[in-house]
Amino acid sequence: MRNRLFQALLAALFGFFVASPLLADDNLVGGENFSIVDEMPDLLDDEYDDEDEYGSDGEQVFDPLEPLNRITFEFNDKLYFWVLKPVKTGYSYVIPEDFRLVIGNFFYNLRAPVRLVNNVLQGRFEDAGVVLSRFMINTTIGVFGFGDAAAEAFDIMPKEADFGQTLGVYGLGRGLYICWPVFGPSNVRDSFGLAADFYMHPLTYMDVDTTASVGFFGTDYVNRLSITPDVYEEMKRISLDPYIATRQAYTDYRQNIIKNYNQ
């Protein structure tokens, strides 16, 4: 039992980090990158203020842990530039982009149960049917999900959902803002959501050892990082205060997902 819990925690270390939208977006289908760039506030807009403390819903971002969060933010920043970026660069050099996109399709398809359950919990039964259809088509015709036959042959596009969004749809507030070591930007609601989504992942119920679990989630993360835009680096380059900009972008991105869940 203890070994199983230890295995889950180590795997979660990679699984949670993968979920950070400011570093690597989860939406990889059809050989394309669906990044969060379009969902983020325009940091070059004259109306944008680095000192803005409100989300897109007008609610103030509750950040009583800001001094500690800033220390964690600096740690994650160094981790990204000293470790993750070199690993991503080397991985991208060795593995051709087309092959990385195919790998991304496989990992994305394997996470279908997470999207399916959350669509059902949100009452989006039609979208849940779309998720199930895509999973069945891509697992069979798409050869275990390496190809996105659902989008390419049937024009069936993905429907996203996660448990943090589900909690927000039911009216649970985001709570205080948290910048987790390694895991990145989050809040109380999304932290619980990420934990729940991890335990919905099929790998959690497979009889695999710790090394395999860590390798799986680590490969998923590095591959995803290699085929998504460098949103974080661009944000840091143009922001007077990268911490505030990251907090604002994350808050607005997550709030827009909840606000537009039924569209």
Cα gap 28→38, rounded to integer Å = 15
Which whole number is the average pLDDT over 7-26? 44
**How far is CA 87 from its chain centroid?**
19
Dig out the tokens for 104 from the structure: 């991304």
pLDDT per residue as tens digits for the range 45-104: 444 444 456 555 557 899 999 999 999 999 999 999 999 999 999 999 999 999 999 999
Residue 263: Cβ-neighbour burial (10 angstroms; 0-12, 13-18, 19+): exposed
For residue 28, the one-letter residue type is L
Q: What is the pLDDT of residue 263?
A: 52
- Min mean pLDDT across 22-26, 32-36, 194-198 is at 32-36
* Average pLDDT for the chain: 82
Burial degree of 89 (CB within 10 A; 0-12, 13-18, 19+): exposed
CB atoms within 10 A of CB 66: 16
Torsion of CA 71, 163, 234, 24, to 10 degrees: 100
Q: HEC states along the chain?
A: CHHHHHHHHHHHHHHHHHCCCCCCCCEEECCEEECCHHHCCCCCCCCCCCCCCECCCCCECCCCCHHHHHHHHHHHHHHHHHHHHHHHHHHHHHCCHHHHHHHHHHHHHHCHHHHHHHHHHCCCHHHHHHHHHHHHHHHHCCCCCCCCHHHHHHCCCCCCCCHHHHHHHCCCCCCCEEEECCCEEEEHHHHHHHHHHHHHCHHHHCCCCHHHHHHHHHHHHHHHHHCCCCHHHHHHHHCCCHHHHHHHHHHHHHHHHHHCCCC
Question: Taking residues 190-195, what's their average pLDDT?
Answer: 95
121's CB contacts (< 8 A; 6+ apart) are 161, 163, 166
Pairwise CA distance, residues 221 & 232, whole Å = 15
Q: Give pTM, 2 decimals.
A: 0.78
- Higher per-residue confidence, 207 vs 235: 235
